[in-house]
Structure 1
């Protein structure tokens, strides 16, 4: 029916050169994005090893914290999935002002939303901790995590919103650069230094500082791209 009545399916003989050309265009964006995703668990392994120096209870608390982080960022992660199609569509239509409005609007929403999440986690940290454990040795680092780390979730949301926007603007290497800078310039070095010098709580504070620094870089890169009117894409 789709083919005969509505002509929504076009059956043509595959053109190898055209297929390779299309694959190349997809991989130009997809490969850096895939590498960026690979970097996150690698960095997570380093961070877990640092936390492990404080004992299995700290690792357990850190693991719970990571799960809470995923849930806390769920709305903004969904936004980062819906933003690129909107950006790409308006980029193709030459509606650059819409791209700017969408990106800046998404960033403002993310910061306000994640601040609200932080307040809710902070006010309810006692109940949240009791849900996951009844062991004091786990409660202390988990409560510490809830008091500090979620403060940086807004900045973390800015980072992946910026990366997804750059991918949609056909700037995958800049998006990859954001991930590399966040993880290997700010996150791991700051966390390692804070952990070595001042301990676990300082390490959690370093997470917030690292996200803030990386978000500043990410926002700057996207803003510069938008200020140029996206001339380099044409």
Structure 2
């Protein structure tokens, strides 16, 4: 489909139909990618509880780097989609190529800082001397590949901004499939390939990122011609980078608050022992699988909002936002039922000790109760970024995580142990969702709208 046709669909086709057409490929791609990440956790769990706990400690650090990548992708999508909504295709090409160079440089710098400070960081998180060699073996490889991780993520944001969600879905699916194939080979060994243990899991991710990097660059430059191999000049790069960073840095900051809060939560959980960290880490990875629709909508909704924002169609922005929220609420209720029914299978797959199984049970009975309203907060955050209001999105993240989520969860742990910690997270998500919805609807009421005779 040509670019003008795709833009017309985002601006003129029925909202529910358009949102579904953009979201279902992303649901498939996210589901495939996350399911293979769960498979990754499964293979690591076969190595033992210590290895699973070690990977649990890496989550706050790896997600910090990933959060920067996500934030830069959000900025890229918002800027390019608005330019396309204004019919400014050449500037969109410049912004896309600038985004890739900017993202690679920033993630490489963050990865270097992480590598240099890895030991004190993991000590601060509560990692024991016994776990440190496992953690460092995994992270030394992971940090090397981090710049290659960000390129496909930002490249996919460029495609989504143009209305193409099918290609990012295919690229995500391929990456997850390759990682799942490489995992058992490198972790346990096969033929002449020696068993590498937990380091093999990191190397499997690195190899899948290399292939994804090559594919996305070819697709953007050769196949679709959505970007130039490089910006036409330094001044153009600087100008584009500024626009991207105005949204990308606050968005990255907002995303980085999540691993920071998870680091605090991990440190709290660590006081209950390595088995608690192992169960909590497995639960967090299952949370991503349970939040597939939320994650898919957080990728497909912003381009729809940004293009209509660029065209002045605030009526369609309001309709898209509400449609997404109420779809998430219903779907996550069904997900909760499915998780509870599947609990014995989940415990059998991921828990090698009774203590780990018990933590997983508490996690699944309680935390998913709040996933629907947590989706409201996530989609409100991404919608604010799509409206080029990144500081408000950042403020919402701060309120959610550090005014409500972490304090209420900690209070719950003091009153009722780990079950109290999980219940506190649910309560915090409910309160924040109400605040987020009311705030965003107030923002929309203040925005001017361009009326069109043909309607929506």
Q: Does 1:170 align with 2:388?
A: yes
Equivalences for residues 115-154 of structure 1 within 5 A? 115-154=333-372
Q: Does 1:182 align with 2:416?
A: no
Whole-angstrom distance in 1 between the partners of 2:323 and 2:271: 41
Q: Does 1:31 align with 2:249?
A: yes
Equivalences for residues 63-78 of structure 1 within 5 A? 63-78=281-296
Equivalences for residues 205-224 of structure 1 within 5 A? 205-224=423-442
Whole-angstrom distance in 2 between the partners of 1:136 and 1:14: 60
Other-structure match for 1:198: 416
Query: How far did 1:19 drift?
Result: 4.5
Alignment CA distance shift 1:221-1:150 (3 Å): same
What SS does the aligned partner of 1:199 have?
A: helix
Query: How far did 1:157 drift?
Result: 1.1
What is the CA deviation profile of residues 201-232 of structure 1, one whole-angstrom value per residue up to 9, with x for unaligned ones? 1111001011111222221221111122358x
Query: How far did 1:134 drift?
Result: 4.0
Whole-angstrom distance in 1 between the partners of 2:381 and 2:439: 10
Whole-angstrom distance in 2 between the partners of 1:217 and 1:129: 35
Whole-angstrom distance in 2 between the partners of 1:135 and 1:8: 51
Alignment CA distance shift 1:138-1:82 (3 Å): same
Query: How far did 1:85 drift?
Result: 0.6
CA RMSD, Structure 1 to Structure 2 (Å): 2.2
Of the structure 1 ranges 117-126 and 16-25, higher mean CA displacement relative to structure 2 is found in: 16-25
Equivalences for residues 42-121 of structure 1 within 5 A? 42-121=260-339
Query: How far did 1:106 drift?
Result: 0.3
What SS does the aligned partner of 1:94 have?
A: coil
Whole-angstrom distance in 1 between the partners of 2:336 and 2:425: 14
Query: How far did 1:25 drift?
Result: 1.9
Whole-angstrom distance in 2 between the partners of 1:55 and 1:30: 37
Alignment CA distance shift 1:43-1:9 (3 Å): closer
Whole-angstrom distance in 2 between the partners of 1:179 and 1:148: 22
Query: How far did 1:58 drift?
Result: 1.3
Whole-angstrom distance in 2 between the partners of 1:9 and 1:80: 23
Whole-angstrom distance in 2 between the partners of 1:24 and 1:137: 50
What is the CA deviation profile of residues 167-196 of structure 1, one whole-angstrom value per residue up to 9, with x for unaligned ones? 011110010011111111111111111112
CA contact (8 A) 2:279 2:351 kept: no
CA contact (8 A) 2:414 2:420 kept: no
Flag structure 2 segments of 5+ consecutive residues without an equivalent: 1-224, 450-456
Give the structure-2-normalised TM-score: 0.47
Other-structure match for 1:227: 445
Query: How far did 1:198 drift?
Result: 2.0
Alignment CA distance shift 1:9-1:80 (3 Å): closer
For this pair of structures, how many residues does the alignment match?
A: 224
